[in-house]
Structure 1
């Protein structure tokens, strides 16, 4: 049975009330996003609050977290309150659409690991169906918010499966947001790519910088040095 919590070096994530539990790809995402110099960060679809907590550990940023699900709201708020960074972690129990109506200072970093459909597309318009998220959160909503609320040098980070990542990239160009970097995450050396971590900015580039990232070695057991180096500040085993 899966634990009701996940213990990190500097914080614990209780997860018994959330459908989306702590997972390896989310941890990689939280450790990968560059936030050391950020003053304001937004976490869209906070869930347990994992990403916000990871960001808080290695930055001095004020962090807003938006979450629409009532159970996840309670879980994230409790996890924030139990952490040493509770004064910088601000949960907003509303949809992104409602949150967007409130005036605010712009963000240096916006990141999201949103829920997504990965099969059973129901409409003839596969691209739009792929872009649709649970809770009526669309890729377009994220892009519109980022376009209006990112600082000029700000960055938008997304964690998505490869098909959805391709759809998001096409939509982003229409919002004047351009893919600058992409991390291709593989479960092990020789394994398929399971996730893309995409970085978007307002600066157009000829081609995005691409890096392959492997969680485990060919034996499917041993963690790679890239993984252990990235998660060393968080995982108890390193």
Structure 2
């Protein structure tokens, strides 16, 4: 059974109401995404609010977080409200499709960074649990819809950073390429060096690139459960065990 909360160095995540719990790969996404020059950030499918809080910890940016599930929205609001970063983050209880339509009719500035750990099962057997389906299955957010929203919401020099399994990464990349959203970086994530890649963090931009940069992050040393130096360096500002 998952813990009902997860303590980070500068904030606490309660997760008992969310289908998507705090996981290592999501933490890697929050720590890895390049937010150095971002002033306006959008978190699509915020869940517990984890990514928004991780980004708020290391930036002065204003962060909008979108969440469609009612319980997850409530939990994100609670986690953010009870953190010292609450003034930086605003949570919206809506789909990103609706948010994008309403946004395009407003005078708000576009985003320097859009980050997402989206539902990724496109066509697969669903769980009987409705909340789990929303979190894991792309029934409420297809890759086509996600790409369309990003193109509307991302500014000309912004970056879209997304976490997916390898097969779904290729699906999204193919869709994005057709819509003039170009892959610029990939981070391949392995449990250890003997395991296959199980997640990829991809960075997209509107400006064309001749080729993308690729890097690998191994979480554990091969022979035991010790975290690699590279992983520890990335998560040191967040994990209380480092």
The TM-score with structure 2 as length reference comes to 0.91
Does the 8 Å CA contact 2:182/2:206 hold for their aligned counterparts? yes
Change in Cα spacing, 1:119 to 1:223, as seen in structure 2 (3 Å) is farther
Corresponding residue for 2:27? 27
Alignment of 1:154-173 (within 5 A): 154-173=158-177
Change in Cα spacing, 1:3 to 1:121, as seen in structure 2 (3 Å) is closer
**C-alpha distance after superposition, 1:177-227 (max 9, x if no partner):** 110000000011111100000000112222211111100011240100110
**3-state SS of 1:153 partner:** strand
Paired residues, what number? 229
**Mapped partners of 1:15, 1:205: distance in 2:** 39
Does the 8 Å CA contact 2:122/2:137 hold for their aligned counterparts? no
Corresponding residue for 2:4? 4
Does the 8 Å CA contact 1:186/1:195 hold for their aligned counterparts? yes
> For 1:192, which of 196, 207, 215 is the aligned residue?
196
| Offset of residue 22 of structure 1 | 0.1
> For 1:210, which of 201, 214, 220 is the aligned residue?
214
1:49 aligns with 2:49: yes
Corresponding residue for 2:129? none
| Offset of residue 120 of structure 1 | 3.2
Alignment of 1:146-157 (within 5 A): 146-157=150-161
**3-state SS of 1:216 partner:** coil
* Unaligned residue ranges in structure 2 (runs of 5+): 127-135
Corresponding residue for 1:129? none
**Mapped partners of 2:17, 2:223: distance in 1:** 34
Does the 8 Å CA contact 1:188/1:220 hold for their aligned counterparts? no
> For 2:111, which of 97, 107, 126 is the aligned residue?
107
**3-state SS of 1:221 partner:** coil
Change in Cα spacing, 1:220 to 1:193, as seen in structure 2 (3 Å) is farther
Corresponding residue for 1:64? 64
**Mapped partners of 1:173, 1:134: distance in 2:** 20
Alignment of 1:115-130 (within 5 A): 115-117=119-121, 120=124
**3-state SS of 2:230 partner:** helix
**C-alpha distance after superposition, 1:50-86 (max 9, x if no partner):** 0000000000010000000000010000000011010
| Offset of residue 133 of structure 1 | 4.2
**3-state SS of 2:191 partner:** strand
1:226 aligns with 2:230: yes
Corresponding residue for 1:145? 149
Does the 8 Å CA contact 2:122/2:142 hold for their aligned counterparts? no
**Mapped partners of 1:232, 1:118: distance in 2:** 34
1:183 aligns with 2:187: yes
Write out the 4+ residue segments of structure 1 that deviate beyond 6 Å after TM superposition: none
Task: Report the aligned-residue RMSD.
Answer: 1.6
The TM-score with structure 1 as length reference comes to 0.92
